[in-house]
Chains A and B, each alone.
Chain A
Amino acid sequence: MSMLEAAGVHVRFGDRVVLESVDLAVADGEFHGVMGPNGAGKTTFFNVLTGRVKPSRGKVRLGGEDVTGLSPHRIAAKGIARSFQIMTLFDEFSARDNVMMGLPEFRARGLDFVHAVAGDRRFAEQASEALAAVGLVEKGDVRAKDLSYGDRRALEIAVALAQAPRVLCLDEPTSGLGSDGVQRLAALIARLKGKLTIVAIEHDMEFLFSLADRISVIHWGQVVARGTPHELQRNDWVRRSNLGKFA
């Protein structure tokens, strides 16, 4: 059974069909890349997987459970964490507090207005562990808005990891990163591979082809090619398209 499965997902905004019968099956522990030109429908597909957009047709299943059309907070609670193409953090909070917000234990106490957050060390310790995973533990007290671009990208991933997700969806994680940042991120993903199911939209083909177990190519709202990086390099459609230059 797949950890994450999308079957016949169809999305239309008014007259415009954005996704047409998109299927995806991601195995437990697999790193699945999603690539395609701008406007292909990749982010809309992510929004369907994470509850931001309800599909017109089709199903999304997480560990076999139907999660189609559930609200984002329900899907997140069931174990799908995501990062955003345009970075979305709690800018006024410290890096540690950002991560703390992602902890399932913290979420479980979200309606507690009797106890002080600052009095509970467990949250800070768990948040520090997630920060350590992305190399940000030294900057735990720095406000998110005062971090460098690369550190903010890493913080987004730390927040997602803190959720202890079953599936991690990354929307263009290398976007805006310098070569050092991409290398750091690649090392982090390599460490997570096999332990976590990851689906990543990415334009950096070198990054994707070196890390992904399988890749789906979306174009005009449809999956036009799918396979291992090796298979895709020999795929006719990919070779003919611009994407083939990088592959």
Chain B
Amino acid sequence: MMVGSKSSSEAARLVTPTMLVLWLVLATVPLWITRIGLYPYLGIEILIWSLYAMAFNLVLGTAGLPSFGHGAYFGIGAYAFGLCQFDIVANLWICLVAAALAAGLAGALVALFISHRRGIYYAFMTIAFGQIFWTLAIKSHRITGGEDGLLKIKRLPANFGLVSFDLTDNVAFYYFVLAAFAVGVAALWRLVHSPYGRVVAAIRQSETRAAHLGYNVWLYKASIFALSAAVSGFAGGLFAMAQLAAFPDVMSLHQSGYVVMMTLVGGGLVSFWGPVIGVFLFLTARDVIGALTNAWMLYFGLLFIAIVLFRPEGIAGAISAALQQHSLNALRQRGTSAMRLLVGGGR
């Protein structure tokens, strides 16, 4: 199979046509979401979880590292955002940086211990550390509010010096989150297609080969984990603003499992956009099927099983395969028509 030149030209861009179309469509969401019986907050959740899932996919999809405790970093970001505005300074930008920094540092600390492992040992270590952070969040009642969570977190205004935007309204906050999502997506796209992203993807395919080409495999595995944790923490900071609180539940093992499911169902292993598709499906299924039955997770679970069994490359992979088949059929059709013309002309 040839590796297409179209994809390389897309990889060289900071902003691709797909991104522009997606951002434009997302920008119209507040105009019609209530008309279809949904609400702007769902849009906010989808954007925040999409950013989180894309950050998670740096580890799972790009690096091929099975991390099953990533909720910890999302949660640490949420707590750090709240604690920053309560105890340090109530500034949106500083608190978002604090969220990313705290989660990134926690990720770096964990990465020190797990980056020389792989496979099942790596996976279990991520779960163990995730559980440690979750337990700390529940037990440190004076700092985190324990099981009640850290309440009364404010949506701080987005102050740009000359102008300041109030984000208390859900529609205003949606557009702020959309802007953060757009910047995050462009940054992650560039990272994945940079020399660094290439090396990480190479390590996923063969650690041995990469090491014998002169790459410090441990350093790359550790740094991609810390980076992923930092972006997850940033998304967690946004989530704290969205919920006006930070709860330990997002750090639990089952919530960490959600992001894995979202990423796999969407097709994160084969596509940059897979996690976004997975998050959209998961959260809309939660709200739409969840309005009909409490057992919505049963149906999503069945979808997950079906995808793992029949389409392990996920929905993005299935779409990509269908598009490839379509182009192949079109080429065959053109070839047949050309043959007919040639044969006809010969007569």
Contact = CB atoms under 8 A, between A and B. Distances in A.
Contacts of A71: 211, 216
Interface in A72-127: 72-73, 76-77, 81-82, 84, 88-94, 97, 100-102, 104, 106-107, 109-119
A93 B216 contact: no
A195 B91 CA distance: 63
A159 interface: yes
B325 interface: no
Interface string B177-217: 00000000000001101111111011001101111111111
B11 interface: yes
A231 interface: no
Nearest to B193: A116
A109 B195 contact: yes
A192 interface: no
A174 to B, nearest CB: 20
Contact of B12 (A93, A101, A113, A118): A118
A113 B190 contact: yes
A19 to B, nearest CB: 20
A50 interface: yes
B2 interface: yes
Interface residues of B, number: 35
17 contacts: A73-B211, A76-B211, A76-B212, A88-B206, A90-B209, A111-B195, A112-B194, A113-B194, A114-B190, A116-B12, A116-B13, A117-B193, A119-B12, A141-B3, A142-B2, A146-B1, A163-B213
Given A118-B8, A141-B5, 16 more contacts: A72-B211, A72-B212, A73-B214, A73-B216, A81-B212, A89-B209, A90-B209, A94-B2, A94-B3, A102-B213, A106-B195, A112-B196, A115-B194, A117-B11, A117-B195, A118-B9
Interface of B: 1-3, 5, 8-9, 11-14, 190-191, 193-199, 201-202, 205-206, 208-217, 220, 223
Interface of A: 50, 52, 71-73, 76-77, 81-82, 84, 88-94, 97, 100-102, 104, 106-107, 109-119, 141-143, 146, 159, 163
